[in-house]
Amino acid sequence: MCQVNTVPMLSQVGYLDVLLPPDIIVDKSTSDLVTREGSNVTLECKAKGYPEPNITWRREDCEPIPMSQEGGQKVIKLNHEGEKLSITRVTRLHMGAYLCIASNGVPPSVSRRILLHVHFPPVLWVPSQLVGAQPWQEVTLDCHAEAYPQSFNYWEREDGKMIMSNDKYKVRLKQKSYKVHMRLTIRNIQKEDFGSYSCLTRNSLGMTEGSIKLYELSPPTSAVSNDAAGGFKLINGDFPKHQSLGSEKSSKGFQNGNINPGPQGTSGSIKTSFQRPLLLFFVVRTMANDLWTIT
């Protein structure tokens, strides 16, 4: 207060506010957390500063946060306000990094990164349990696994032998977070390659497996039928186009083992038109010789 000693006294009052940027109190905030699937968790974040900071929660990957409200109603939030983030019945979808962001209008805002690990036993999904192939072909089998902690993933034959990558087999794994895509490629299939294959995944919480049956496909057969023009028509398209045209050209005019005149311009019409003048020539020549002998 500034004061002037007059009669009456004059004074002026001023207020000084000291603004403090936010700062997260580490020992009162949650650290990285590990929990089992199906349990309840609460993440807490406290901060100090002046004015009092506001706390906002969001996921680092910007994915929504599945939450439950009173009455069991499910809600999905992109952001959550408050010092505490409570999640009921945690699932693997909640796994990831969470950011608690403290701000009070005084720059800079600060954040804390908290990792939530959700442990669960392995599960498997097999897109196709029956796969057909022919000898000498190449085929790929697929399995999708989910597990955390990270699992050990491998393939087995029905005799229990583990399959490793070599000239015959190619084993590939594509992993993202707790998800794994398992692929097994079998080259140059032989008779002994047909049978059951198993994809297996295991971690500290359990083990599971999926089975795929690789069976032999029958060789393709080509069925033919005569069309209205007397030629051949491919039904299932097993042959290339140039082969079907060749068969049609060489087969016109042949039905039930008999030779019938083909349409105009085909080889059957040319052969018939050539034979008739030749036969007439021999008949005339024979009659002329007989007439000459009589005379």
pLDDT level of residue 178 (50, 70, 90 thresholds): very high
Averaged pLDDT of the chain:
80
Across 132-141, 149-158, 213-222, 253-262, least confident range:
253-262
**What are the pLDDT digits (tens) for 77-93?**
899 999 999 999 999 99
| 176-200 mean pLDDT | 95
Closest to 87 measured CA to CA, from 121, 39, 46, 120: 39
Number of Cβ within a 10 Å radius of residue 256: 5
> Do strands 65-68 and 10-12 pair parallel, antiparallel, or not at all (unpaired)?
unpaired
Closest to 252 measured CA to CA, from 243, 263, 244: 263
pTM over 0.85: no
Name the residue with higher pLDDT: 206 or 247: 206
Name the residue with higher pLDDT: 265 or 27: 27
Res 71: pLDDT: 63
Res 285: pLDDT: 57
DSSP assignment string, 183-212: EEEE-S--GGG-EEEEEEEEETTEEEEEEE
Indicate the DSSP class of residue 166: S
Number of Cβ within a 10 Å radius of residue 238: 14
Res 76: pLDDT: 87
CA distance 176 to 174: 7
Tokens linked to 106:
């005084």
Number of Cβ within a 10 Å radius of residue 110: 15
Closest to 124 measured CA to CA, from 180, 61, 177: 180
Sequence-separated (6 or more) residues with CB below 8 Å from residue 106: 19, 20, 21, 22, 49, 50, 51
| 92-99 mean pLDDT | 95
Name the residue with higher pLDDT: 73 or 167: 167
Q: Which residues face 132 on adjacent strands?
A: 215
pLDDT level of residue 68 (50, 70, 90 thresholds): confident
Sequence-separated (6 or more) residues with CB below 8 Å from residue 46: 24, 25, 28, 29, 55, 83
Q: Inform me whether the pLDDT recorded for 266 exceeds 90.
A: no
